[in-house]
Structure 1
Amino acid sequence: MDQVMVSEIKMTSLDIAEIVGKEHKNVMRDIRNEIDSLGEETGRLIFELTSYKDKSNRDSPCYEFGKDGAMQLALKYDAKTRRAVIKRINELEQLQVPQVQVTIDKSKDLEIKQQATEARYLNAQARLESVRLKKQQFAMEVAETFKDVLSPDMKQLIASNLINQSTGQSLLPAPETEKLFTCEEIGTKVGLFSKSGKPHKQLVAAITSFLTDHGEIEEHELKRVLESKGNWTGDTVKYKESVIEKVVSFLQGLSLDEPIINLRDKNYNFDASRLNLADWA
């Protein structure tokens, strides 16, 4: 709320001397007498001792005061003098420029802050909803693109995710699937690592391909699974745990005098020190 305030007028003993036609030193004496009559404490609150530059540019004492002080002095003089002082007070008050003081309504300020907080929350919720819808759209597009190659379990998984994300509830449980392993994971389990220290997924892939071609790995032991990594989306082959045992059996049947395995005229170097076949015996 805005309030119009008018600052108090200010006068000096020099102004009074001019108005009443007295020498300044006499007005100073009158003010000192008033201070003595009022008492030092009260008098100093009304009349403030200050200074001004006289004709010789020297600092000389004078008193400064407001309307109360001017009226206090006016009462000492005759009717004409009092009238002159009061007239001057009125003139000064009319010259005062109103000042607008702004008072902040704290309750309104709190309400505005609460509204801003609610707006930020709603915006965040809207962004989350937009992300959720984009994920759903992506899943639907993937399902449509790969519908002819997806397994029934994968189709149920996609349907489960879409329904549960839409409702925010677990209405359709995801299918329980047997643990499947990538070539990289199989390499880690059997200790088949490349010289660089990474799981030798290329060698594992070559072994599983060899075993599949020779009928050692059956169709039900592998699955093509749709995956997304970064900007890449595609299917990858994963194997059941029984395939790990067959990979181990294959390795155990080889003569591993040197850390090299030749498959289909291609040599694969590996770190023999990390090979771990004993746990699968």
Structure 2
Amino acid sequence: MNDLAKTTLTSMEVAQMVGKEHKNLVRDIRRYCEHLNETKIELVEFFKESTYIDGKGESRPCFMVTKKGCEFIAHKLTGQKGTEFTARYINRFHEMEHELVTASPSEIPLGELASYLKAMDRVAHRQNLAPYKIAENFKKVSAQFGVKLTDDFVKVPEHKQMDLSDFADDKE
């Protein structure tokens, strides 16, 4: 739940942002979930059912709303309300992303680092980066997160190690 909380908003926060009673937003989200289920679209990409403890100490239903879920809700709203909510959730997710980026390495879960490196690897391969360049990038990111890799982790090909100043003497 801790990792999820860093990348989602609670339906209570969303209800406050859109100016709706929480119970009405929960009702709407349940309806969205039914529609998504019918089309076999993964709910967890948008909403994850959860609970919270209210002021009386009782457990109440709520949802953890992902960025996609907020976008989904925003598309259902029109006019001033829709514009206002879109701006608020965008700002809120940017705040959360900034908190994750500025967190100390010990606060970043290893699974999140692994996911980031995997995504970075896909991009690097799509861009046809040389393997040693991919390794250099991995080493830099790993170091930023406090993960030490051996000095010989990056092996630069010999043809990239040649110094052109060696050939300057031949021209004279």
- TM superposition score normalised by structure 2: 0.51
**Residue 67 of structure 2 is aligned to residue 26 of structure 1:** no
- 2:50 corresponding residue in structure 1: 50
Quick one: distance in 2 between partners of 1:8 and 1:66? Answer: 10
The one-letter code of the counterpart of 1:47 is: F
Deviation at 1:54, TM superposition (A): 0.8
**Residue 113 of structure 2 is aligned to residue 72 of structure 1:** no
Structure with larger Rg: 1
Alignment coverage as a number of residue pairs: 105
Q: CA RMSD in A?
A: 3.0
- 2:10 corresponding residue in structure 1: 12
Q: Deviations over 1:46-103 (max 9, x none)?
A: 2100011111111111000211001101111222221122111222133222157583
- Residue ranges of structure 1 left out of the alignment (5+ in a row): 1-6, 113-281
Quick one: distance in 2 between partners of 1:51 and 1:111? Answer: 49
Q: Any conservation in 2 of the 1:35–1:42 contact (CA below 8 Å)?
A: no
Quick one: distance in 1 between partners of 2:94 and 2:8? Answer: 13
Structure 2 counterparts to residues 123-272 of structure 1, below 5 A? none
- 1:175 corresponding residue in structure 2: none
From 29, 32, 35, the equivalent of 2:33 is: 35
- Residue ranges of structure 2 left out of the alignment (5+ in a row): 106-112, 118-137, 141-148, 154-172
- TM superposition score normalised by structure 1: 0.33
- 1:82 corresponding residue in structure 2: 82
SS of 2:51's partner is strand
Give me the identity figure in percent.
25
Quick one: distance in 2 between partners of 1:13 and 1:26? Answer: 10
Runs of 4+ in 1 over 4 A off after TM superposition: 99-102
Q: Would you tell me which structure has more helix in proportion to its own residues?
A: 2
The one-letter code of the counterpart of 1:57 is: G
SS of 2:150's partner is helix
Quick one: distance in 2 between partners of 1:79 and 1:50? Answer: 30
**Residue 59 of structure 2 is aligned to residue 59 of structure 1:** yes
- 2:150 corresponding residue in structure 1: 109
